[in-house]
Each structure stands twice: as C-alpha cells, then as structure tokens.
Structure 1
Amino acid sequence: MQVVVTDAAEQHRYEARVDGELAAIAEYIATPGLVVMTHTEVLSGHEGQGVASELVRQALEDVRRQGAKVLPLCPFVSGWMRRHDGYDDLEYRSRTTITAASS
C-alpha cells in the first residue's frame, strides 16, 4: 500500500491518499516559522492500516524542509513524535521562562 501525502494549504491540512482515495487528514494552522498541528483523522475504511502514521511522518518531514517548528496540539501527533526518534528538534519549545512572583 502506497500512501501519497500532499499539503492542501488552501484547506489548512495535509491529505493522505491510498489508491487515489482520500484516507486521512491532518489539520494545521501555519504561521511564519511555526505549524500548529490541531487534528488528525482517518476516514472510514482506512483505520488500522498505518495511514495516519505515514501522514504524520511525511507532514513532519515537510515542516522540517520549511525550516519551521511544530506545536503538536493533536494528541495523535504529539504521541507519534514522542514514540519516534529524530523529531525532537521539530517540537516548538517556548523561549519564555515563567518565574514565581516574590512576596
């Protein structure tokens, strides 16, 4: 099974197709230097085939090519990034440090 992933930027999502049929989507919000991954969904009939994993892998590689960071709000994307080596460098980390106010 070949999963073809494209960036449907006008719809703010990556799309995964299997045999030309839309199989999964990963929605995002893009800003300069940051892609917020908000939701991933596998369409009926394509569950349990690894389509979402391949979609996320290819989407993250696309973000890497753009030189951007990823803020994974979607639990699937966040979990995928934790389980796979080599993607820590893509995760957005706040540069601000919160300190407790002194009394």
Structure 2
Amino acid sequence: MDDAAEAVVKILLQHGGLVPSKVSAHFKTKYFYEFVIDGVGVDVMAGMVIINQDKEHSFSLKAESVVEYVLINDVEIPLQSLAEWRNLYLLMGRLDKVAMIDQ
C-alpha cells in the first residue's frame, strides 16, 4: 500500500469500520476499501480501472476532470461531474445508478 492510501485508511478507521471487499473480475482498481461511518457506506478508490468488454478503462482522478471543489474541515475535496460518473456507472453495468443520475 502506498503512503497516501495508508494514510486515508488510518484516518477512516478512526471514524468507522472497514468492510471486507468483494473481488470482481470487472475491476482492476489498485486500491479499493469499503468503510461504514455513522451508518453510511464510504468507498475509497485510487487508480480505478473498469473492465468492460475485455477492455480496460482507467479513471484515475485527473485535474482536468475536476469540475469543482468542496471544503470539508479545511480540506479541499475535488469533485467530478455527474456526466463523468454516469459514464463510469454505465461501464460498470450499474444501470440503477445511471437511471438515478438521469432523473
């Protein structure tokens, strides 16, 4: 685990529990962790790769894909557009999430 991923895991473990992740042939994400914090599921991903029709689609966070920042506890959090996430969910086969965004 690299230093940044390890730091995130340590911080989130102070606030909630780590949930065992399920291995999937549809993803080759470098780091993926699932937490439950105050009853809310929180996914942490770094180096996200989605496998769709035997092709790898890399979605690491890039500066040009950030559409805005939100400030939480004096930390700027980068946000991508809903259109970007719609595309991600479509590649993942998460049609429920695609429909939610479309509404």
**Does the pair score TM above 0.5?**
no
Q: Does 1 or 2 have the higher relative contact order (CA < 8 Å, sep 6+)?
A: 1
Q: When the two structures are superposed, what TM-score results if normalisation uses the length of structure 1?
A: 0.28
Q: When the two structures are superposed, what TM-score results if normalisation uses the length of structure 2?
A: 0.28
Structure number with bigger Rg: 1
